[in-house]
Structures are given as structure tokens and as C-alpha cells.
Chain A
């Protein structure tokens, strides 16, 4: 218990110093945040344009789709804030940061969530959150759905990070630069900003099982907006948490078996 409190304190302190370091270039930082804030603005532009011509897209009304898209921006923003896959991939090849952090007496989750943080993505996350809150204020939400949604959302952010981490580990085996993980997750975030049913059964299966980002975005948002029954929603939350734990195990085992110290 004491260890967990100490680790959590260390996590907050580390992020505080990451902030201080990042904001040493003030002008650039302000523009980075403005740039990431454009993500929710783009969501509003796209969805408003779509609904100028159609009333319900794939069974979702304007505010529901706005909520889904904003939630996608929030989850991807938070996940990238906690860990930028580009930085992790590059560091796995060069071993600059990871070699240093691995020497500290800290658990694996601490290493993941502190070493490759992208502070600027908080602009996107907070912008997405503000838009999400605005959108859901125009919809009706049940208490049970709200509780299940919060669990699914927290688990979902961890799931996205661990999936990014697991895929970034491919840098141990393949590809000279491995900068593709950032591009992959950018596209996955875009795809999950809309109801997965528009991609047909294949898309639904792809985003639920092969690259389970749907468990982090589409399904939690659907639970909140009452698209599923209570039992179905509970089942999704359980699957989401189990998938997150499984990904953590895969990441930990693969990392430990592939990592070779300052070899690079």
C-alpha cells in the first residue's frame, strides 16, 4: 500500500517536472496546445457539415455523434499524453531514456506512464472533454450507464496505451525507424470517431478484437448513451478490463524477454 502511494506521488511529481521542462519554450508550447485544440474544432466542423444534410447517421443523432467524436478525441489525447508511441519506438532502438529508467526501483506501469509523455496532447484531451461534456448535456444519461462508462473509459485509456506499447515493441525486431505507430493510432482515432457500424461487420470485428480500440471509445460511449442493455454493457466493461490486463501482461513479458540493456 505504502509503495503504491509512493509510486503515485512519484508519478505526479515526474509529470510536474515534465510540464516545467516542456513549457520552457513558451511560444511554441502555446501554439502546440492551440494546434491540438484544433482536433475538437475539426470534429465540430465535420459533424455539423454532415448533419446539415442528414438527420440521423447510423442511428445516432447530432449530439450523440458529437459526444462520440469528442470522446474519441479525449481518449486518444489522454493516451498520447501518457505515452507517445513514436518516442517509445525510437527509444527502444536507441535505448537513451529506457536504459536509465529501467535502473530505478519502480514498477513497469510507472515506466510506461512517465517516460514517453507528450504534454501537448493534453490540449486535445481537455478540448475533447469540454466538447464531450457539452454534447452529453444535450442527451439523457442513466446513473448505472454513467458508472459503467467511467470504468470502461479509465480501462480504455490504459488499453490504448498498452496496445500502443505492445505494437511499439515490434521496434525490437523490425523496421529501422518504426515511426509508423504514431500514424497507425492517428488513423485508429479518426476511424473510431464515428459509429463502428458504418464500417460493416468487418470493421466492427477489426476494432473490437484485432485492434480493440473500439473497447476504449465506441463501446464506452455507446454504454453511456444507452445504446446497449445493462447486461450487455456490463459484459463489455468486463471484457474491456480483462483485455487491458492481458495487454499489460503481454507488454511486460515481451519487453522483459526482448530488452537487452544498453545493447543498442
Chain B
């Protein structure tokens, strides 16, 4: 058990160094990504001014600002595991991972976790702290714990989703387009473009059956106090169901594709 923790820790530290290798790029990327909520804030200001109402879809202009600001914060902790897995497969690095003590799926998960942890620590948390100062949400210890739990669950679900999708590279080699397509879809259905309750009724019904709402929309609504404990428990059950589904799917896919690994004809 001790050895396993040491192995995980060592892999975590190596991944941390590699993530921070291009620090200036990392900082500039954060800066440009922060312009997105500012654009939406100014756009919605014009919409509220033109509509002449103070509330749209149950949200005031201030809560709209808060929503986009907080969603941008959560977008930094997004899992990029799909790219990592597909690149490792297409570049033939899988064997190297399989020879190491952690194995391919765990090593990939740890690397993705490091990337997300660094981004969460350096961007999500400071932006959320700033949002707390700016918008004064009614945050309690319980709501902070709720957000943390949802972030962990959504990260795990998405990691399993991306791992499964990344394994497609064993069959078709290049899957950059597939990953890009699903990234855009996740972002849109996760609530980065508009709050999900603004979608037409039919679309809303479908969107709320998918796990992508857990990425940005649900944490942002918990942050603003729009989700109570009873609703939260329902969301946790929903997340557990998706975790089981994605976990089973990832296990079955990995069990199948690992038989395709062929080294020196063996």
C-alpha cells in the first residue's frame, strides 16, 4: 500500500513539473480565457437594457455576471484526458506506461488529475475567491463541500468518458477531430454558452439527462445558492449513476483494446 502511494506521489510530482514547463504560456492562456465572461457580461448588459426587465429566466443582471464568471472559473479544471490518451496511443507510448508500476489507465488519470489540480489551484480557486468578493453569494461550509464533491464526481465521470473515447485511437489512430467535437459539445451542453434553463423546453429535457451539466452549470448554481440540499442529493444520485455507467463502459473498452497492443509482433 505504501509503495503504491509512493508510486502515485512520484508520478504526480513528475506530471506537475511537466505541466508547469511553459509557465508564461499557462498564464497568458488564463488571461485570454478570462475575457470570455467579460464579453458575455457586456452582451447581457445590452440585452437587459433593451428588454427593460430586471430578471431574465429567473436571473438578475448581477447573477448573470456571476454565472459567467463562475463558469469560466470551473472551465479551468476541465479534464483533457482525451488528448493525452489518444496521443499516447498514436505515438506508441502506451507500452512505456504499461511497463511502469502504475499501468496505462492509472498513469493517464494521475497526469490528468495533476493538470486539473494545478489549474484549479492557480485559477479556479482565485477566481472563485474574487467572485465571492464581487458578488457576495450566500456561501456556507455545506455549499463549499457540495461544490467540491460535484467537482470530484464530474472530473471522474469526464475522465472515464475521455479515456473511453481516447481508446478509439487504438482502432483509427488519429481522433483529434472526435475529441474536438465532443469538447465543443460538452462546453455547450455544460452551460458555458448560456445558462441551461434558457434552452427551449424540449432541449432542456435532453440536456438535463446528460452528465455535462455537472461540469459547469451545477457548480455555478450551487455557488449562487440556487440549489438546495434536497436537490443536491438528487444530483449526487444522478452523478453516481453516470459514474457507474461510464466506469463499466471504460473497463469493458480497456479490457478489449489492450488485447490489440502489439509489440515486436508479440
Q: How far is the CA of A34 from the CA of B33 in the complex (A)?
A: 23
Cβ A31 vs Cβ B177 within 8 A: yes
Query: Which residues of A, 156-205, contact B by the 8 Å Cβ criterion?
Result: 174-180, 183-184, 186-187, 190-191, 194-195, 198-199, 203
- Nearest CB on A from B28, distance (A): 4
Q: Assess whether A45 is interfacial by the CB under 8 Å rule.
A: yes
Cβ B177 vs Cβ A34 within 8 A: yes
- Nearest CB on B from A219, distance (A): 18
Cβ A187 vs Cβ B36 within 8 A: yes
List the one stretch of B131-139, B178-186, B223-231, B249-257 in contact with chain A.
Answer: B178-186
Cβ B28 vs Cβ A34 within 8 A: no
Cβ A35 vs Cβ B36 within 8 A: no
Q: Which of A28, A38, A50 has the most CB of B within 10 A?
A: A28
Interface size range of chain B in the complex: 35 or more
Residues on B close to A: CB < 8 A? 21-22, 24-25, 28-29, 32-33, 35-36, 39, 42-43, 45-48, 50-51, 53, 56-57, 172-178, 180-181, 183-185, 188, 193-194, 198-199
Chain A residues with CB under 8 A of B178: 27-28, 31
What is the total number of residues of chain A having a CB less than 8 Å from a CB of chain B? 42
Chain A residues with CB under 8 A of B174: 25, 27-28
Q: Which of B22, B36, B50, B193 has the most CB of A within 10 A?
A: B50
- Nearest CB on A from B147, distance (A): 26
Given that A35-B184, A175-B24 are contacting pairs, would A57 and B50 also be in contact in the complex, using a CB cutoff of 8 Å? yes
Q: How far is the CA of A56 from the CA of B35 in the complex (A)?
A: 24
Cβ A187 vs Cβ B35 within 8 A: yes
Q: Assess whether A58 is interfacial by the CB under 8 Å rule.
A: yes
Interface of A is mostly: helix
Chain A residues with CB under 8 A of B173: 25
- Nearest CB on B from A92, distance (A): 15
Can you list 6 A-B contacts (CB < 8 A)?
A28-B175, A50-B43, A50-B47, A57-B50, A120-B177, A190-B35
Q: Assess whether A32 is interfacial by the CB under 8 Å rule.
A: yes
Q: How far is the CA of A186 from the CA of B47 in the complex (A)?
A: 23
Closest 8 CB pairs of A and B: A32-B177, A31-B177, A54-B50, A25-B174, A28-B177, A35-B181, A180-B28, A54-B51
Q: How far is the CA of A223 from the CA of B183 in the complex (A)?
A: 35
Cβ A45 vs Cβ B47 within 8 A: no
**Number of cross-chain contacts by CB at 8 Å:** 117
Q: Assess whether A55 is interfacial by the CB under 8 Å rule.
A: yes
Chain B residues with CB under 8 A of A55: 50
Cβ A42 vs Cβ B35 within 8 A: no
Q: How far is the CA of A187 from the CA of B32 in the complex (A)?
A: 7
Cβ A32 vs Cβ B180 within 8 A: yes
Cβ B36 vs Cβ A42 within 8 A: no
Q: Assess whether A49 is interfacial by the CB under 8 Å rule.
A: yes
Cβ B28 vs Cβ A183 within 8 A: yes
Among A27, A180, A191, A199, the residue within 8 A (CB) of B29 is A180
Q: How far is the CA of A216 from the CA of B172 in the complex (A)?
A: 39
Cβ B32 vs Cβ A186 within 8 A: yes
Chain B residues with CB under 8 A of A58: 46, 50
Q: Assess whether A111 is interfacial by the CB under 8 Å rule.
A: no
Q: Assess whether A246 is interfacial by the CB under 8 Å rule.
A: no
A47-73 Cβ-contact flags toward B at 8 Å (1 or 0) = 001101111111000000000000000
Cβ A31 vs Cβ B181 within 8 A: yes
Residue of B nearest to A194 (CB): B43
Residue of A nearest to B169 (CB): A28
Given that A58-B46, A190-B36, A191-B39 are contacting pairs, would A180 and B177 also be in contact in the complex, using a CB cutoff of 8 Å? no
